[in-house]
């Protein structure tokens, strides 16, 4: 979901951008108006996430999935070593892509229990020559999250695709953070990378320019035409989020929304929630009904009540409620009521 005021502003400005004679969709990325859009977006993002000057902010394309490849190519030598925590589908994909470039060592995994918990990661388990430790901060599909980031003495690389701007993180705990903007920060087409400047290094000739963080940073994310409309839209979301009280307020709201559903699950003898209590995600709440027939009936009834997008990911099954920033308390409350009513009718 996107905040309604953001969509309304897009609609209002779409045909003619204020002060210009064209739409933002038609503007050159070098036009002064667009330069202002991108620099304001970056400034607002830095304010929202308290990004210090010692970190570069990059606006890239290729989705979070492209970062699975860019990270190893930029942060470790060819054939080098990096540590990965295997906590779900995306964490595993990140490791698989890295292993095309070097040795992606799995130092912790929760695959043994269907990714229902966050495994502990110790410094001892990390190879001494590892260039970085990669984790997925919030596991979108399984509904688990790192409630504290591992304290390790090598750069921590964190995929925050489904939780950045939905909850507070300390950027300085990380060497690199990345996230696609389509969950809490805008629409598809833009991926944000926040990287500590000392990790921006000269790369071997064979690395394509478009995959080179240092080069992209030197060109202010304008080495080629950036995803202008996605940047414009994220800029509006940043502005709106700031006006709403920033990330601390988003986190407060998201915790409140998540508690509505976890309270129903904790009180239920009908639904199963598999995630270990201390690892529950506040962005994605996953649960199961007794069987497939119940699941289908639950989804059908939900749809009739205007509650959509609840089918669990194909790799996890069951139900998943995503509580991204723009999802309202009222909307989640309607789901909680429906869950209780469905249980009473079917138990």
Binding site for ligand PMP (CB under 6 A): 63-65, 90, 136, 140, 159, 161-162, 180
Query: Token pair of 13, please?
Result: 């400005």
Cβ proximity of 283 and 323 under 8 Å? yes
Q: How far is the CB of 322 from ligand PMP (least distance, A)?
A: 10
**What single string gives the DSSP state of each residue in 14-71?**
SSS-TTSSS-TTT--TTSHHHHHHHHHHHHHHHHHHT--TTEEEEEE-SHHHHHHHHH
**Residue 285, exposed/middle/buried by CB under 10 A (0-12, 13-18, 19+)?**
buried
- Cα dihedral 241, 243, 246, 252 sign: negative
Query: Token pair of 110, please?
Result: 């929760």
Q: Which of residues 300 and 314 has its CB atom nearest to ligand PMP in the complex?
A: 314
Q: How far is the CB of 181 from ligand PMP (least distance, A)?
A: 9
Q: How far is the CB of 163 from ligand PMP (least distance, A)?
A: 8
Q: How far is the CB of 164 from ligand PMP (least distance, A)?
A: 10
Q: Which of residues 162 and 230 has its CB atom nearest to ligand PMP in the complex?
A: 162
Q: Which of residues 64 and 289 has its CB atom nearest to ligand PMP in the complex?
A: 64
Q: Which of residues 162 and 254 has its CB atom nearest to ligand PMP in the complex?
A: 162
Rounded-to-integer distance, Cα 299 and Cα 305, Å: 10
Q: For residue 147, which of 269, 279, 251 has the smallest C-alpha distance?
A: 279
Q: How far is the CB of 183 from ligand PMP (least distance, A)?
A: 7
Cβ proximity of 157 and 133 under 8 Å? yes
Rounded-to-integer distance, Cα 213 and Cα 194, Å: 10
Cβ proximity of 253 and 326 under 8 Å? no
Q: Which of residues 175 and 180 has its CB atom nearest to ligand PMP in the complex?
A: 180
Q: Which of residues 68 and 271 has its CB atom nearest to ligand PMP in the complex?
A: 68
- The residue nearest ligand PMP at its CB is 63
Which residue is it, tokens 């229902």? 116
Q: How far is the CB of 159 from ligand PMP (least distance, A)?
A: 5
Q: Which of residues 27 and 95 has its CB atom nearest to ligand PMP in the complex?
A: 95
Q: How far is the CB of 270 from ligand PMP (least distance, A)?
A: 28
């Amino acid at each position: 979901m996107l905040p309604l005021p953001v969509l309304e502003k897009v609609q209002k400005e779409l045909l003619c951008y204020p002060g210009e004679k064209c739409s933002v969709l038609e503007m050159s990325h070098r036009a002064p108006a667009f330069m202002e859009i991108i620099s304001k977006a970056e400034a607002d993002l830095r304010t929202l996430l308290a990004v210090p000057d010692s970190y570069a902010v990059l606006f890239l394309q290729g989705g979070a999935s492209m970062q699975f490849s860019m990270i190893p190519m930029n942060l470790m030598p060819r054939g080098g070593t990096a540590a990965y925590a295997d906590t779900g589908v995306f964490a595993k994909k990140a490791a698989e892509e890295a292993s095309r470039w070097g040795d992606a060592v799995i130092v912790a995994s929760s695959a043994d229990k269907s990714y229902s918990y966050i495994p502990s990661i110790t410094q001892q388990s990390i190879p001494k020559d590892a260039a970085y430790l990669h984790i997925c901060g919030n596991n979108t599909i399984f509904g688990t999250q790192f409630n504290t980031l591992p304290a390790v003495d090598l750069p921590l690389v964190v995929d925050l695709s489904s939780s950045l701007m939905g909850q507070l993180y300390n950027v300085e705990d990380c060497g690199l953070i990345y996230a696609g903007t389509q969950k809490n920060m805008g629409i598809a087409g833009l991926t944000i990378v926040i990287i500590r400047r000392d990790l921006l290094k000269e790369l071997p000739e064979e690395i394509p320019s478009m995959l080179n963080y240092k080069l992209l940073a030197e060109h202010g994310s304008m080495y080629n035409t950036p995803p202008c409309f996605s940047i414009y839209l994220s800029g509006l979301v940043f502005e709106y989020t700031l006006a709403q009280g920033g990330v601390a307020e988003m986190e407060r709201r998201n915790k409140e929304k998540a508690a509505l559903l976890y309270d129903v699950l904790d009180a239920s003898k009908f639904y199963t929630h598999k995630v270990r209590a201390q690892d529950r995600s506040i962005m994605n709440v996953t649960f199961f009904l007794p069987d497939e027939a119940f699941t289908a009936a639950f989804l059908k009834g939900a749809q009739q009540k205007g509650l959509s997008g609840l089918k669990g990911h194909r790799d996890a099954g069951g139900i998943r409620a995503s509580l991204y920033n723009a999802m309202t308390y009222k909307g989640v409350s309607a789901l909680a009521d429906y869950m209780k009513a469905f249980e009473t009718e079917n138990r």
